[in-house]
Amino acid sequence: MQNIATVLKQLGIKKLNESVCTGVNWISAVGSTNREIVSPVDGKKIGSVVFATETEYEAVMKRAQSAFPIWRAIPAPKRGDIVRQYGNVLRTYKDQLGALVSYEMGKSLQEGKGEVQEMIDICDYAVGLSRQMYGLTMPSERLNHRMFEQWHPLGVVGVISAFNFPVAVWSWNAMIAAVCGNVTVWKPSEKTPLSAIACMNLMKLVLEENNLPEGVFTLVNGDAGIGKMMAEDKRIALVSATGSTAMGKSVGKTVGERLGRSLLELGGNNAIILSEHADMNMALRAVVFGAVGTAGQRCTTTRRLMVHEKIYDGFIKKLIKVYKQLSIGNPLDENNHVGPLIDQAAVKQFSNAIEQLKKEGGKVLFGGKVLSGTGYESACYVQPAICEARNTYKIVQEETFAPILYVMKYKNISEALAMQNDVKQGLSSAIFSNNIRETELFLSSAGSDCGIANVNIGTSGAEIGGAFGGEKETGGGRESGSDSWKAYMRRQTNTINYGDTMPLAQGIKFDLG
């Protein structure tokens, strides 16, 4: 593994005050907020970034607005070719960008590289999509009329992404928005700006090679104030925001008040139902990865586990045995399973949740400790926890962005489904069972109320081909695959009269004499 200084250099990160990108050129921010970027891996400073002010934000918006008419006029398959080229650049720099993501955010190196692979996959998907954005033709009730629909780009799309997937979520939005004919303004998490800067440096290579205008893909690093500007900005037709439910409610309200569009991907409180009819070995692997992957900092993390009472004791013993074998440490060491939480504030939330669980009557079966000493100097490492709880506990009803797995018993599938659905969030869900009656009920309208429902796979690890998103307080948005591209376009119904009369719909007569 190369050292991070070399990785930064290879990704073109030299002047860290250049945190605002107009697509081709960088603007040196003149703001007063200087954010030190400290790695949760070892507590060392990676660099510092000067956050943008309204002045730099306005400069980016002007570039984006001016680029839109040029970009939308380019045929969609040719826009797709630009995305294809970016995907190839990502293939070249996959190891370097994956390592930076891992070091800046704290996820394992395998997951960091996997996140860049998600970017590559969405590029491939968007390239194919650029030749398939279809409209329907409908029969007209009027003689010699043809009725059909078209899809047109919205204009400027704003993307607000979270720290846990510092590069992939942007690409989900930006690559599909691009083939649809939109330009994007990206505000990444203030906790992971360097990964975003690296993405824009790589995009700059493609834009310059193709003589494309500034503003097709742009970046504004900043604090929550920049996000607020985007939500309020009438020039941004769609704001796609990923983060907490509280953040999403604020963005949704602000965008809604100006009758703009929002695409919200918010919190998850995901559950696995473990049936007595399950393959226990398969389930064990899925539960562990779902609960501790990315140190519990995925929106699809497995947070609740409902186990049939007949197998509860035996399965929990196996689960604790595996947890004891987990290797916790530097995520750049591929022998480690679990890396750090993003910062010490997240560690405090982890500890507070454990204490709240105990106050409500729950029990820690394993883990729950904050780790210190050699290898844990950043003070961001924790021991993943298995906690016996009830679904009705206040702390269980909340999403704690940390590796805490709440386990509970159930007697029958109806009870398990009721428990799974009895939370405010509705992102991902899963059942492990080889009983077809149970699995079909789980997938029926009377089953899981989540946007994602899996059978014999875990809650985490969605593929880009399917629409990603959830219901209830998860926001209702959909990104990535299926027909999610429609969120980035406006629908237009067209009717053509190719006859020589003027009949009205519904048989209405309007005789002028």
> Could you list the active site residues?
265, 299
Contact 347, 314 (CB under 8 A): no
Strand segments, DSSP code E, in 110-268 are 137-138, 145-153, 156-160, 183-187, 217-220, 236-242, 261-265
The pair phi, psi for residue 264, each rounded to 5°, is -115, 125
Cα–Cα distance for residue pair 2/12, rounded to 1 Å:
15
Tokens linked to 57: 């934000």
Tokens linked to 158: 């704003």
Tokens linked to 8: 């930064």
Alpha-carbon Rg for the chain in angstroms: 25
Cα–Cα distance for residue pair 411/117, rounded to 1 Å:
41
**If you ran DSSP here, which 8-state letter would residue 492 be given?**
E
Cα–Cα distance for residue pair 231/236, rounded to 1 Å:
8
Q: How far apart are the first and last CA of the chain?
A: 85
- Three-state SS for 417? helix
The pair phi, psi for residue 235, each rounded to 5°, is -75, -15
Tokens linked to 499: 């006859």
For residue 408, list its beta bridge partners. Answer: 306
Cα–Cα distance for residue pair 16/231, rounded to 1 Å:
26
Structural element, H or E, at residue 126:
helix 109-129
Residue that the structure tokens 């000067």 belong to: 50
Contact 218, 184 (CB under 8 A): yes
Contact 204, 188 (CB under 8 A): no
